Structure 1
Amino acid sequence: MIPPIELASAEEIKVFQEEKLKELLTYLAEKSRFYKKMFSDNAIDISQIKTLEDLQQIPVTTKTDLQQHNYDFLCVPKHEIIDYATTSGTLGKPVVVGLTNNDLDRLAYNEAISLACAGIKKGDVVQLMTTIDRGFVAGLAYFLGLRKIGAGVIRIGPRNPQLQWDSIVEHKSKYLIAVPSFLLKMIAYAEANQIDYNQLGVEGIICIGEALRTADLENNVLANRILEKWDVNLYSTYASTEMSTAFTECAYQNAGHLHPELIIIEVLDNQNNPVKDGEEGELTITTLGVEAMPLLRFKTGDIVTVFSEKCKCGRNTKRVGPVLGRKKQLVKYKGTSIYPPAIFDILNFFDSIKLYLVELHTNDIGNDEICVKIASDDVSEEFLNKVKSYLQSKLRVIPTIEFCELETLAKLVFNPNKRKPTYLIDYRI
């Protein structure tokens, strides 16, 4: 189920995307209040934007633009909106993203080819362990994509481990879609209740919300902790509500494949200039084929590296590596620049740490401070020194560390008013 364009040469893909870009610019100039004004204010003649390189002539669109002018991005009458999705609001006010019938069809196509990339086929039973309600687009997208593939879907949601194992046994689930840290809870529950999870037939898990790979595409600590126990294939996938497109790993698990018929990507530095191949920068996207709320040069806030060499699977598309951090969450701590996911990966190394929360503060002289709260089976001075030593070796600095009761920390991490676990609270924002 590989679309032919993904097997085309890099030059053919570029020509294809440039034609799609022209169509998008014409559509935005006719339909979008926001982009009409942008083009006018900046004296942009869209007929002169002919190549992907010409995109540099157009200003970027930011999350703030979406928050302040949300409905100015709408390109169709409101009565044509079939689904109203909302962003998680991680970095501020949530944004409403409307989808038409055609957009839902596009979303289904996107997830079908993305999940097929990870090996899911017609007739497979897939257990969906993420929410499908509360305006959350991901669960809906997975369901639509699996339906298009012809796979069976078990919509369990992010519920307790016993229910997950019961469903796997009952329905013989072949694939799971889950947050990877929850898999550790499932493993711990299975071991405590004599469940032989390696004999239940689960072949692959599509992991969402948390990175599985390091910057050089090796398994990170979280992935290794899962794989040490569970003989499964772990596939990373990355997407956002705004882009309505997913980047999912293939069988070679070598970063998430771009779908050139659905999205154009750039990786930009702080001055909005393209970085060199293999360098990290902010992922910036231009959506193709979106009807209700297409975006042009939208800066996602996610810091990534893009890989351009041909994949062993035969696809010739670019691949997006793991999110190294959010640009707004970069911490300057004691002379060292740190993205919080680097701290998460270190904390995941310790089996004794059952839960953690990283808090970012500003001190009285305006510098960043990091406080790491952990719930641990071992609260000894010796264990504390071991954690500090590991942080020092990996980060070159040691944040403040506080031991907390598991129940107290769980109330902060698993906030019922939020769709995802909260492992970071940034009080600087």
Structure 2
Amino acid sequence: MIPAIEQASTAEIKAFQEEKLQETLHYVIENSPYYRRIFKTHKIQVSDITTLESLSVIPVTTKEELQRYNDDFFCVPKSKIIDFVTTSGTLGEPVTVGLTDKDLDRLAYNEAISFACAGIGEDDILQLTTTMDRRFMAGLAYFLGIRKLGAGIIRVGAGIPELQWDTILKFKPTYLIVVPSFLLKLIQYAKTNSIDLTDSGIKGAICIGESLRNQDFSMNVLAKKITQDWDIELYSTYASTEMSTAFTECSERQGGHQHPELIITEIVDEHDNPVAPGTSGELVITTLGVEAMPLIRFKTGDLVVAHDSPCQCGRNTLRLGPVIGRKKQMIKYKGTTLYPPAMDNLLADFLAVKSHVIEIYHNDIGTDEIRIKIFAPQAPQGLLLKIRDHFRSKLRVSPTIETCTREEIQRLQHSKLGRKPVSVIDRR
């Protein structure tokens, strides 16, 4: 199930996207109060934008603008909205996003071709271990996509390893849709309860929310920990509510494939100019085919590297590498630039650390400080010193590290409205 456009030549994909871009720009000028205002203020004509490169004449849309003018981004009356969702609010107030019937169809198509990209077919059964409530788009998207693909689905929801294993053993699903660190809890439960992992019937996992790869696409520590005990295939995905689009790995696992019929991507520097090929920058997206709330040049805040070489799977689409970090969570610490994912990866080297939270804050002189709180119930002697030395050798810095109770870590990780635990708290 590879759409023809994804196997087209680079030139054909570009021409296709430029045609779709024209349709999108005419649509927002007619229906979006926000973009109509932007085009008028900056004296921009749609006729000025004939190529993907000329998109740069349009100012970028920031998360702050989306929060501040939320209602002005809607292109349809509220009566046409079938489903309301909100963003997770990781870096600020959640944004309301509405979806029409057409948008829900687009969402289903996106997930169906994304699952197919990972090799899933109509004969498979997928176990959904994420929530479908709490105004969460992803859970609904997975359900709709699997339904469109024609595969089976079991909606178990988040947490509860006992229920997850009861479902696996009873219904024999072939794939899990899961946050990868939760797989470690499933492995531990299986070991404790004498469940044979090799006889589970699980072929692979579609992993969300956490990275599985290093920048060279080799498995990171988390992925290695999972696969050393459970011989299953792991597929990374990248998505956001604002994009209504997913970038999913294929069998080659060389980055998440773009769906050119659904989204235009740019990688820009701090001045919003394109970066050189193979260079990291902030991902900027323009949605295609969205009816209720299309976005033009939306800055995601995620720093990535794009890869445009042909893929062995047969697709010629651009691929996104693992997220390096979020721009707003960049830390300048004692002369070194750091991102939380790098610290997460180092902490994964210590089996005694069961959970953690990274706090970023300003000290009395206004510079960045890092405090890492860990829960390590059976910590060997000298653990904190070993962690500090490990950080110093790998990242050339030594943050403050404190031990905490499980309850304190859980309280920090979960907000009242949060749908997923957080490992980074930015107090700056």
TM-score interval for Structure 1 and Structure 2 normalised by the shorter chain: over 0.9
For 1:111, give the aligned amino acid: E
For 2:427, give the aligned amino acid: Y
Q: Which runs of 5+ in 1 are unaligned?
A: none
Structure 2 residue 57 is the aligned partner of structure 1 residue 92 = no
Structure 2 residue 324 is the aligned partner of structure 1 residue 300 = no
Structure 2 residue 85 is the aligned partner of structure 1 residue 81 = no
SS in 1 for 2:382: helix
SS in 2 for 1:146: helix
Structure 2 residue 219 is the aligned partner of structure 1 residue 219 = yes
Question: 2: distance between equivalents of 1:115 and 1:320?
Answer: 17
Contact 2:352 2:379 (8 Å CA) reproduced: no
Which residue is equivalent to 1:241? 241
Structure 2 residue 255 is the aligned partner of structure 1 residue 269 = no
Contact 1:176 1:206 (8 Å CA) reproduced: yes
Which residue is equivalent to 1:132? 132
Q: CA deviation at 1:417?
A: 3.1
1:107-122 equivalence runs, <5 A = 107-122=107-122
Structure 1, residues 185-229: CA drift from partner, whole Å, max 9, x if none? 111111111111121110010000001111221111111110111
Question: 2: distance between equivalents of 1:153 and 1:363?
Answer: 49
For 1:237, give the aligned amino acid: T
1:31-46 equivalence runs, <5 A = 31-46=31-46
Contact 2:392 2:398 (8 Å CA) reproduced: yes
Which residue is equivalent to 1:346? 346
Q: Which runs of 4+ in 1 moved over 4 A?
A: none
% identity of equivalent residues: 59
Question: 1: distance between equivalents of 2:299 and 2:382?
Answer: 44
The worse-fitting range, judged by mean Cα deviation, of 373-382 and 29-38 is 373-382
The worse-fitting range, judged by mean Cα deviation, of 276-285 and 405-414 is 405-414
Question: 1: distance between equivalents of 2:263 and 2:413?
Answer: 33
Q: CA deviation at 1:415?
A: 4.1
Which residue is equivalent to 2:409? 409
Structure 2 residue 253 is the aligned partner of structure 1 residue 253 = yes
TM-score (norm 1): 0.98
Which residue is equivalent to 1:329? 329
Question: 2: distance between equivalents of 1:36 and 1:121?
Answer: 42
Q: CA deviation at 1:80?
A: 0.3
Question: 2: distance between equivalents of 1:168 and 1:253?
Answer: 25
For 1:345, give the aligned amino acid: N
For 2:83, give the aligned amino acid: D
Q: CA deviation at 1:381?
A: 4.4
The worse-fitting range, judged by mean Cα deviation, of 362-371 and 197-206 is 197-206
Contact 2:82 2:99 (8 Å CA) reproduced: yes
Contact 1:379 1:403 (8 Å CA) reproduced: no
Question: 2: distance between equivalents of 1:297 and 1:239?
Answer: 16
Which residue is equivalent to 2:149? 149
Q: CA deviation at 1:378?
A: 4.0
Q: CA deviation at 1:377?
A: 3.7
Which residue is equivalent to 1:177? 177
1:382-397 equivalence runs, <5 A = 382-397=382-397
SS in 1 for 2:251: coil
TM-score (norm 2): 0.99
Structure 1, residues 217-267: CA drift from partner, whole Å, max 9, x if none? 111111111011110000000100000000000011111000000000000
Structure 1, residues 342-367: CA drift from partner, whole Å, max 9, x if none? 10011111111111111111000001
Q: CA deviation at 1:416?
A: 5.1
